A and B are shown apart, each in its own frame.
Chain A
Amino acid sequence: MAATAPFRVGMKEIYLPNFNIVLTRTPSQPPTSATFLTPLWFSKLDLRDYLYHAYDIRIGPSIRSYVQQSAIRQGQVKDPARPQYKRWHRPRATKRITVELERPFVWPKMPEDLGEWKPVENKMAGVEQQGMQERMGGASDAFAVEEGRRRGMREQARALLEGREKWRPGGK
């Protein structure tokens, strides 16, 4: 295929590539353009050759690249186990290359029904997990006992005082 390429093919021979090229959704751009996230060392010519040889995509003469610096974040690593205060790092920058396509391409539409991805359950689980972390965390004594549990304890105490139930060591 290299001999039939309509442009001068590069000389970097990569047999086993271990990087990802990600196509990003850019609704504000016309259908004749596509934006990719690439490694930082990738050049415009690299992307042209990659798209031509791996995906059979021919691109027009216009190609733009842009390196976006990341904002600084707390912690030394990407996802620390516990928050690391007073430690800051800047995640690696991302490179975006926008190419002009010879044939227009429109992204598929957003699915109408997101029920397959269970957004309601996801939100409930998030709320439950946050409550659990607050109850189990270091500030657990600052939070009052949950309302339902409090009511149950009151009922249990009243039953013991009135003699309806009898306390036995080790539970029932």
Chain B
Amino acid sequence: MMVALMAVVILAASLAALLQFFGIYCRSLIAASVAQPLSPEIQEVTGITSGAAGPEDFPRVVQLLRLCPDFANDRQQVSAIRGYFWLVKAVRWTLASLLPEVRSWAEMQLAQCAYFAAVALEHRVSSSRTALAAQMHDSR
């Protein structure tokens, strides 16, 4: 009985800590990208101007990311942010009608996820160009 009770307490506390650490870790990934400006080319492709991303932009930018070769090796970070995006979206669906301030917080988080994806796209395009230039240089 005591062993089972301890396992229940550890399970509940660990799940709560997991959600919290995962959320903060994703925020730390996003924070590094927020300060980076987008090139005019990426702004045109994604429709996102610096600091003006919307929550609905994220799935579209992720589709563009899938089309771009991953020379930047950021697949795991993009996957983590995708997980965070769906987590925040679930929070918006469940809590936003009860707490209006949660809605504005969630909207801001979702928009920042979209901006992170746009910055990742920028890196991938730039890495692909570098790789292509190196390949052309080697073939000469």
Q: Do A and B come from one complex?
A: no
